[in-house]
Each structure stands twice: as structure tokens, then as C-alpha cells.
Amino acid sequence: MIRPLTLADAPACHALHAICDTQTYWSTSAYEELISIHLGYGYFMPHLVGFILAQVAQTQADIIYIAVDPSLRQQGIGRLLVSQLSQQKDLEEIFLEVNENNKMALTFYSCIDCTSIGRRKAYYTRDGISYDAIILKKSFLPC
Ligand SMILES: CC(C)(COP(=O)(O)OP(=O)(O)OC[C@H]1O[C@@H](n2cnc3c(N)ncnc32)[C@H](O)[C@@H]1OP(=O)(O)O)[C@@H](O)C(=O)NCCC(=O)NCCS
């Protein structure tokens, strides 16, 4: 079941993020703030197994983070979460940034028809190594 995230989901978002990215994840209180300000959807089975958070401004959305439980990946949950976000009224474009080293996410975004529109040099640092951010866009406008 997909439903909007509520403040009560913040601990589960924090826990899932910590599983997905052991180096950079946000605290429960950071998630409470993000959920209170931004738009989020969670996939529940019945506990949270995936979520998407996005900053929406008029016709555009920026994905802040998307995560799916590692044991349930490649079963369509990530695609469903993006699809749910895309149903937001008047939404025309989704933007996001992804680490050039995150091949799994890049494959996912390619599969859901995101296209690369730019690069931010040395945007991320991991273990002293710099990585570029690939800027991606998904458009819902007719070609
Ligand atoms: C990126 C992520 C959210 C994708 O979630 P998911 O539930 O596995 O994605 P889906 O099952 O909906 O996949 C959608 C498509 O992408 C493909 N895909 C997803 N991950 C893939 C992988 N690792 N290898 C190959 N294809 C992949 C699927 O096969 C599917 O293709 P299809 O619809 O043509 O069959 C998940 O891998 C994740 O949580 N990663 C860790 C967190 C992360 O890096 N987030 C992104 C930060 S920018």
C-alpha cells in the first residue's frame, strides 16, 4: 500500500535510509522536519519498505531521496513511488542528483526514462574521494 508519509514514519525512514546508505543518512528529527515541509510517499507491507521524498514547487519536483528495502528491490516499488509522485497535480518535470558512483540508482533512473542534463563536479565526497553528481530530469511534457 502506498500512502503519504506522516511524522510518525520519520523513525522508519531514518532506519531504512541507514540500511541503504551506511555513510550518509539523516536522523529521525531531520526526517520529521523533511516530512513536515516536503511531499513524501511510503510503500508499506505493512511496515515501511520504501519511500520517496520530494520538494515540489508548482510544476517541478526535486527528489530529495528515494529508497527501497534491499530485500525487495527490482520488484517495481521504486517505479511505483516515482509514479505516485508524478501524479501530483500540474507536475511537468522531476529533477534529481545522483552520485556518479551509484550505478544501481543510475540504472534505475535510466529504466524509468530519466535523462542526464548536467553534472556537478566533485559534489560528493566519500572516504576522501570526490565524485560528481549527475543531474537527471524526467519530463511529463509531450515531446
Ligand atoms: C534506486 C532504488 C530506489 C530502485 O528501487 P527498486 O524498487 O529496486 O526499483 P524498481 O524495481 O521499480 O525498478 C525499476 C526498473 O529499474 C530496474 N532496476 C532497478 N534497479 C536495478 C539494478 N540494480 N540493476 C538493473 N536494473 C535495475 C528494474 O529492473 C526496473 O526495470 P523494468 O521496469 O524495465 O523491469 C533502489 O535500488 C534503492 O533503494 N537504492 C538505494 C538508495 C539509492 O541509491 N537511492 C537513490 C539516491 S539518488
Say if strands 129-139 and 2-4 run parallel, antiparallel, or are unpaired. unpaired
Cis, bond preceding 142 (omega within 30 deg of 0): no
Q: What is the pLDDT of residue 141?
A: 77
The CATH class that applies to domain 2-139 reads alpha beta
Virtual CA dihedral for 75, 76, 81, 85, nearest 10 degrees?
A: 170
Domain boundaries, the chain: 2-139
For residue 32, how far is its CA from the centre of ligand 1 (angstroms)?
Answer: 25
Average the pLDDT over 8-37 and give the result.
94
Q: What is the pLDDT of residue 46?
A: 96
Q: What is the pLDDT of residue 131?
A: 96
Q: Residues with Cβ < 8 Å from 9, sequence gap 6 or more?
A: 31, 35, 40, 42, 48, 51
The DSSP element (H or E) to which 129 belongs, if any, is: strand 129-139
Q: What is the pLDDT of residue 143?
A: 64
Question: Is the CB of 74 inside a 6 Å radius of any atom of ligand 1?
Answer: yes
Nearest atom in ligand 1 to 98's CA: 48
Segment 46-77, tens digit of pLDDT: 999 999 999 999 999 999 999 999 999 999 99
Question: Is the CB of 19 inside a 6 Å radius of any atom of ligand 1?
Answer: no
pTM for this predicted structure:
0.96
Average the pLDDT over 113-120 and give the result.
97
Report the residue count for the chain. Answer: 143
Which residue puts its alpha carbon closest to atom 17 of ligand 1?
108
Question: Quick check: 137 pLDDT over 90?
Answer: yes
Q: What is the pLDDT of residue 50?
A: 98
